Amino acid sequence: MITSDAQIKNIDVSNLKGVGPKISSSLNRLKIFSLFDLIFHFPFRYQDRTYISKVSDLTTDSGSVLLCLKVKAVEGFVGSRGKVLKILFADDTGIIEASFFNTYATFVHNFTSGRRVLAYGSIKPDYMTGRPSLVHPEITFLQTNETVTTEEFLTPIYSSTEGLGQAILRKTIKTALDLIQKAPLPEILPQNLNPYGMSLSDAIKDVHYPHPQSDHTPIVPQKLTSFERICYEELIAYQLCL
């Protein structure tokens, strides 16, 4: 068990599994040097990949959505330099067009007619028709009978730096969160002075990976109860220092 903040402040990020010199150097550029720095590197927003939307429900104000689609047709490259790939997708409720920028041949060849994909991306009005369209979505190609599963928690998006993608950053922070779940941080607040009924370790984990709202409206990290729980302890610590 971790018995003090000093311990996690002394655990260098380079000691974490999967963190080599390159990742460690990138983390250092973000002022992340220790396990302590890493777990308090909170996301500034979230993506909701916990449910699948239907094409018929989309509007130009739908924001970012997750869709399960089939390739209907590859329309080809458009634009003055032919750098925008247009593809028609469909689900059982309707058809939607997607635009991809600066693609490469092997990527295009994967879009065979009838192939199932999971697409996550922003919905914007098509510049010609005004109808909702997908703009450069992330694509996961599915096998014919593959069962589609969604995420249980919201997906965190972090401030990053060159050479440190979101996937690597999420994986590294998840490793740190797993450590403090196995060896929880010490509780400074007595139970009767903790109105949130939430441990510090659980609060930190929840800020990184909260559950979605029941109506899937966007969540701001600073509005989470778990974030308030952390701030509450910080304010008490500052007051005690004074």
User: What are the residue ranges of helices labelled H in the chain?
Assistant: 5-9, 21-29, 35-39, 105-108, 166-182, 200-208, 225-241
pLDDT of residue 6: 65
pLDDT of residue 136: 94
165 and 212 share one domain: yes
204 and 224 share one domain: yes
83 and 133 share one domain: yes
pTM: 0.88
Distances (CA, A) of 168 to 23, 71, 161: 8, 30, 11
196 and 218 share one domain: yes
> Measured in Å, how far apart are the chain's first and last C-alpha atoms?
29
What residues make up the domain containing 194?
A: 5-46+161-241
61 and 33 share one domain: no
110 and 180 share one domain: no
Q: If the chain, 242 residues long, is cut into consecutive pieces of 10 residues, what is the mean pLDDT of each piece?
A: 65 91 95 95 97 95 95 79 84 96 84 95 89 95 90 97 94 94 86 90 97 93 96 89 88
Instruction: Please say which residue of 91, 112, 141 terminates a domain.
Output: 141
